[in-house]
Amino acid sequence: MNLQSNAMSDASVDSQVIASPVARQTRPLYWSVRRELWENRSIYIAPLAVAAMALFGFSIWLTGRIGFGAFPYDFAAGALMVTQILVGFFYCIDALNGERRDRSILFWKSLPVSDVTTVFSKAAIPIVVLPLLTWAVTFVTQLLMLLLSTVIVGSSIANRWAQGSFIQISLLLLYHLVTVHALWHAPFYGWLLMVSAWARRAVFLWAVLPPLAVLGLEKIVFGTSHLANMLIYRFAGGTEAMAMASGNMPIDPGTHLTPGRFLASPGLWIGLLVTAAFLVAAVRLRRQRGPI
């Protein structure tokens, strides 16, 4: 009996040792994110389409121009950032509701992938994947615009925007996308995912109407707009985004950007805590909710 029990304990220990590397090799979070990219092609098709239209319009507009400054480059970057916000919004409101609506949740729950992994893989799309993808597409688009201006215009005046500043502006854009569109806007995406996991239908209305109702109630009862101002300040991107929009922030990221001050701001960590609470609620709701 002792020999048999020792053999069984040794076998269980060996199985745990073997299972751990196997679990690491399968990388469920990585493949869950890949699944989201496979199933939601608008994540990368939308920014690529906007970039193609920007390049086409720029090539037509470029004919006959001698100097144009930074406007076309800023316009392309702004259009891609707006596209990222819209794609992230509509992705989140359908991310957890869609799998319940088409009953694919029954299949995905039969796989050895936890609800935590599934929800966090969906949150990674608007918080991690979309900002980095937007930056990469913007970088390539602006680089092609720079090459087009050189070939068509053939003048250094046309490239005045890029003289010694292309890399700096690209790094500034990356900083903006990571700090504002990823970290600072994270509570919005967490809220949308939680509503997507809870609502049976009309997810868009459930995501928008309750906050509007609370804003109206505050205005009627107290005559104040603190919550509205807070939401506007959060959506606008905080102090650093406002400084960039106003042109008060120089373009040298090595000396003028202040990631330390941003990471030390209480508003950032409060927002991340709120995001974590929304995602925990989304995990619990997905665990309890069935097909619609």
Query: Of 22 and 38, which is predicted with more confidence?
Result: 38
Residue 34: both structure tokens together: 């890949």
Q: Which string of DSSP letters, residue by residue, matches 60-119?
A: HHHTT-S--TTHHHHHHHHHHHHHHHHHHHHHHHHHTHHHHHTTTHHHHHTSS--HHHHH
65 Cβ contact list (under 8 Å, min separation 6): 153, 158
Residue 30: both structure tokens together: 């990585």
pLDDT band at 276 (very low <50, low <70, confident <90, very high): very high
What is the residue whose two structure tokens read 């990219």? 37
Spatial distance between the Cα atoms of 195 and 207, rounded to a whole number of angstroms: 6
Within a domain: residue 124? Answer: yes
Domain that holds residue 171: 21-288
Q: With the CA atoms of 8, 12, 14 and 18 taken in that order, what torsion angle do they form, in degrees rounded to the nearest 10?
A: 150
Spatial distance between the Cα atoms of 158 and 150, rounded to a whole number of angstroms: 7
Within a domain: residue 6? Answer: no
CB 240 within 8 A of CB 262: yes
Within a domain: residue 4? Answer: no
Domains contained in the chain, number:
1
User: For the residues 157-175, what does the mean pLDDT come to?
Assistant: 71
What global pTM score does this model have?
0.83
Spatial distance between the Cα atoms of 280 and 191, rounded to a whole number of angstroms: 11
Helix 130-152, helix 166-176: angle, nearest 10: 160
Within a domain: residue 9? Answer: no
User: What single letter denotes the amino acid at residue 7?
Assistant: A
- Other beta carbons within 10 Å of 2: 6
| pLDDT score, position 134 | 96
CB 238 within 8 A of CB 267: yes
pLDDT higher than 60, residue 155:
no
CB 72 within 8 A of CB 55: no
Closest CA to 61 of 157, 166, 149: 149
| pLDDT score, position 159 | 56
Within a domain: residue 8? Answer: no
Within a domain: residue 5? Answer: no
Spatial distance between the Cα atoms of 115 and 34, rounded to a whole number of angstroms: 16
CB 278 within 8 A of CB 196: no
Vertex 240 angle, CA 239 and 245, to 5°: 100
Q: Tell me: the pLDDT tens digits for 61-103?
A: 777 665 566 778 888 999 999 999 999 999 999 999 999 888 8
Within a domain: residue 59? Answer: yes
pLDDT higher than 70, residue 12:
no
